[in-house]
Every structure is written in structure tokens, then in C-alpha cells.
Amino acid sequence: MAVFTSVTLGDLTQWIKQFPLGQAVALKGIASGIENSNFFLTTESGEYVLTIFENLSFEQLPFYLKLMHHLAERGVLVPAPVATHDGELIVPLHGKPAAIVSKLEGSSQMAPQAVHCAAVGTMLARMHLAAQDYPLEQPNLRGLDWWNLTTPKVLPYLSAENAHLLRAEMHFQEAFAGCDTYRQLQRGPVHADLFRNNVMFVGERLTGFFDFYFAGCDTWLFDVAVTINDWCIDLATGVLDTARVRAMLDAYHAVRPFTDAEQTAWQPMLRAAALRFWLSRLYDYYQPREAEMLTPHDPTHFERILRERIATPAPELRG
Ligand SMILES: Nc1ncnc2c1ncn2[C@@H]1O[C@H](COP(=O)(O)OP(=O)(O)OP(=O)(O)O)[C@@H](O)[C@H]1O
Ligand SMILES: N[C@@H](CCO)C(=O)O
């Protein structure tokens, strides 16, 4: 159950009047998702998603909602936030920040083929380019600083072997983040969590990216690495699938060509993207939030991926 704050249709009778959407006619809690309370909301003017933010503050949220608005305006397929009559994208509901966004058609493609990976690669590159002139700045809040804070919190729970892996990889990533090649990488707003469950498809047609609430400013290559590490792997082993990798990278490159610095940084970045999710999953596993938590995601999945990315040379970025 992933509705942490309950809302009834009656609660919305007055509240919805601040939006130009007519009356709310149906509301249905969405069971998946582990971060926020989400509802499908039908109003007199159409179908939307109502999100109540359980962890993000009124101060943090404009970065995400305005980014979605910016991207939607530029033709990138993302949910468009709906503004109130006063132009606000975030308003309180039951004392927490809430927003209404357009509902994307379709469903997640949990067994993607090369054709789906190509569509994701194209849209990801378009998104990076379209966000280039986005004026707000917010770091990736799950970047190196967060890894440094989180590592000592999870280390006591790890086997000697895994503790060694984590310490060694943190050491490696600190050095990587400080090197000249890293400084040359192009940066901007990135999604940073573009997993299979955060993209909608109708058949082979991509209908949108969503769940932008881990977005932040980081290297574009980090976003590519996070996406490849989820979409283009054999789930049981974490091994990259060449056909899907090529489809995604070639499609991305056709829209926004990879640079020499990115080619040099590719293997360390695939490791960084694996480390990021190993750490967050370890943290959620050993320090679950009270009561509200669902079954945490399996950390060993990303431990396997990290070991695999260290052991196996990365594929060429430019095929
Ligand atoms: N704009 C949207 N259009 C259509 N469906 C949506 C939209 N936003 C969310 N959903 C649906 O709600 C579900 C949960 O949303 P979301 O992934 O954003 O939640 P979350 O709590 O941030 O979860 P997590 O962080 O675990 O991915 C999605 O799997 C999707 O089915
Ligand atoms: N994509 C993350 C969950 C947060 O959205 C994970 O699989 O660990």
C-alpha cells in the first residue's frame, strides 16, 4: 500500500476549486510507488494524477514541478503540471505539499526490447537538450555528498567483503569526481531515476517519462548510465544486453552526440550509477522509515551490477 496520506473525494470539493479543472468526480489511490501518495483523479475536464509529497518540502518542490512544466512546453513527453488560478503549481492538502499533473497514457514496459530502449534513448537526449536553458539550480540530492553521508550509516550492517567493496568504490568515485575528464562532462538537469517503472508506453510508442522527484543538476552521462543499468540488463545477472545497449546509446547519440570525455568516463560512470542505487537500497533496507514503508527494493541487485561493471569493460558509447 503506497497511499500514506488518505484523501476522499469529499476532501476535494472545495480544494479543487483553486484549479481550472471543474469538479472532482472520481479519485482512486495508486498502489505502486514508495515515495509519495498518488491518486488517479478524474475531474470534469479530464484525467490527472494527484500527488501528495511525503518527504519533499515546499522549498524543494518548485525545482521538479517547474522542470516538468519547462520540458512539457518544449515538447518533451512528461506530465504537465496544472497551475491554480493564481499560477501556483504546489498547494497544501492535509498540511502537505500537493500537485496535479496530467495523466500519461499507457503502462510501463517491464520487459523492454531494443525498440523501447531506442525510444528511451531518443527522448532522454531530447530532454537533456531541452533542459539546457532551465533557470533553476538544484544539485542531485543523491550525489556524491549523499553517498559520503550514507556510507558510514550502512557499513556496520555489511559483511567484511561488501564493506570492502563499498569503501573501495567510494574511494574510486571520489577520485573520479575530482579528475579533469569528469570536469569536462556536460551537465544540466537530469532525471536521475529513469527506470522501467518511470516511463510509459503504448505498444512501442513512448508516451512519457515521469516521477521527476529525484531530478537534479548532474552530468548527462550519469543519467545515461542510470538508464542503461536498468533498461539494458539481464535482470538476473546484471549483465548488459548488447542489442538493447546499442539501441539506446545509438538513439541518444543521434540526437546529442557523445563527447570524447564521455567515452573516457563511461565505465566509471556506469559504476557510479550502480553505486548510487546500491547505497540507497542498503539505506532503505537497514533504516526503513516508520510504518509507512513497503517491502524495500533488493540491495543485492545493485551489488551484483556494481561488481559486474567493475569486472567487465564498458561497451563503446559510440558504436
Ligand atoms: N503522470 C502520470 N500518468 C500516469 N500514471 C502515473 C503518473 N504519475 C504516476 N503514475 C502512476 O503512479 C504510480 C506511482 O507513481 P510514482 O512512480 O511517481 O510514485 P513514487 O511514489 O514516486 O514511486 P517510486 O519512487 O517508487 O517510483 C506509477 O507507477 C504510475 O502507474
Ligand atoms: N528506482 C529506485 C527507487 C526510487 O525510485 C530503485 O529501484 O532503487
Report whether residue 103 contacts ligand 1, using a CB cutoff of 6 Å.
Answer: yes
Q: Are residues 156 and 32 in the same domain?
A: no
Ligand 2 midpoint to CA 271 (Å): 16
Task: Identify the domain containing residue 33 by its residue range.
Answer: 9-102
3 found inside a domain: no
4 found inside a domain: no
266 found inside a domain: yes
End-to-end CA distance of the chain, in Å? 43
- Does the pLDDT of residue 1 top 50, yes or no? no
Q: Are residues 194 and 134 in the same domain?
A: yes
pLDDT (average), residues 293-316: 91
Q: Work out whether strand 96-102 and strand 46-52 pair parallel, antiparallel, or are unpaired.
A: antiparallel
Q: Are residues 217 and 82 in the same domain?
A: no
Tell me the best of 51, 193, 279, 301 to mutate to test the pocket of ligand 2, counting ligand atoms within 8 Å of each CB and taking the most: 193
Tell me the best of 210, 230, 280, 298 to mutate to test the pocket of ligand 1, counting ligand atoms within 8 Å of each CB and taking the most: 210
Ligand 2 midpoint to CA 193 (Å): 7
Q: Are residues 34 and 169 in the same domain?
A: no
12-67 per-position pLDDT tens digit: 999 999 999 999 999 999 986 667 899 999 999 999 999 999 888 999 999 999 99
- Does the pLDDT of residue 291 top 50, yes or no? no
Report whether residue 280 contacts ligand 1, using a CB cutoff of 6 Å.
Answer: no
Q: Are residues 93 and 138 in the same domain?
A: no
Q: SS3 helix, strand, coil % of the chain, rounded to 5?
A: 45, 15, 40
Ligand 1 midpoint to CA 97 (Å): 16
109 found inside a domain: no
Domain boundary among 102, 122, 142: 102
Report whether residue 192 contacts ligand 1, using a CB cutoff of 6 Å.
Answer: no
User: How many structural domains comprise the chain?
Assistant: 2
Q: What is the pTM of this model?
A: 0.95
**pLDDT at site 35:** 77
**CATH code where residue 172 lies:** 3.90.1200.10
Ligand 2 midpoint to CA 281 (Å): 8
316 found inside a domain: no
**Which percentage of the chain shows pLDDT scores above 70?**
96
124-135 per-position pLDDT tens digit: 999 999 999 999
Which amino acid is present at 195? F
Ligand nearest to the CA of 230: 2
Closest residue CA from atom 29 of ligand 1: 32
pLDDT (average), residues 164-186: 98
Between CA 60 and CA 166 the distance in angstroms is 29
- Does the pLDDT of residue 295 top 80, yes or no? no
319 found inside a domain: no
Q: Are residues 140 and 266 in the same domain?
A: yes
Residues sharing a CB contact under 8 Å with residue 40, sequence separation 6 or more, in sequence order: 26, 27, 28, 30, 47, 48, 49, 50, 103
Q: Are residues 215 and 135 in the same domain?
A: yes
Q: Are residues 96 and 118 in the same domain?
A: no
E strand map for 186-279: 187-190, 199-202, 205-209, 216-219
The interface pTM score, or ipTM, of the predicted complex is 0.94
Q: Are residues 154 and 94 in the same domain?
A: no
Domain boundary among 102, 134, 168: 102
User: b/e string for 147-163 if b means 16 or more Cβ within 10 A?
Assistant: beebbeebeeebeeebe
Report whether residue 292 contacts ligand 1, using a CB cutoff of 6 Å.
Answer: no
197 found inside a domain: yes
Full DSSP string of 174-212:
HHHHTSHHHHTS-EEEE-S---GGGEEEETTEEEEE---
Report yes or no: 113 and 244 within 8 Å, Cβ to Cβ: yes
Q: Are residues 141 and 290 in the same domain?
A: yes
Dihedral sign from CA coordinates of 262, 265, 266, 270: negative
**CATH code where residue 40 lies:** 3.30.200.20
Between CA 116 and CA 203 the distance in angstroms is 9
Between CA 229 and CA 69 the distance in angstroms is 27
Between CA 276 and CA 258 the distance in angstroms is 22
Ligand 1 midpoint to CA 58 (Å): 20
301 found inside a domain: yes
132-155 per-position pLDDT tens digit: 999 999 999 999 999 999 999 999
Q: Are residues 87 and 124 in the same domain?
A: no
Domain boundary among 102, 123, 145: 102
Distance of CA 259 to the CA centre of its chain: 23
DSSP helix/strand/coil, 59: coil
Q: Are residues 123 and 265 in the same domain?
A: yes
Closest residue CA from atom 19 of ligand 1: 33
Between CA 129 and CA 184 the distance in angstroms is 17
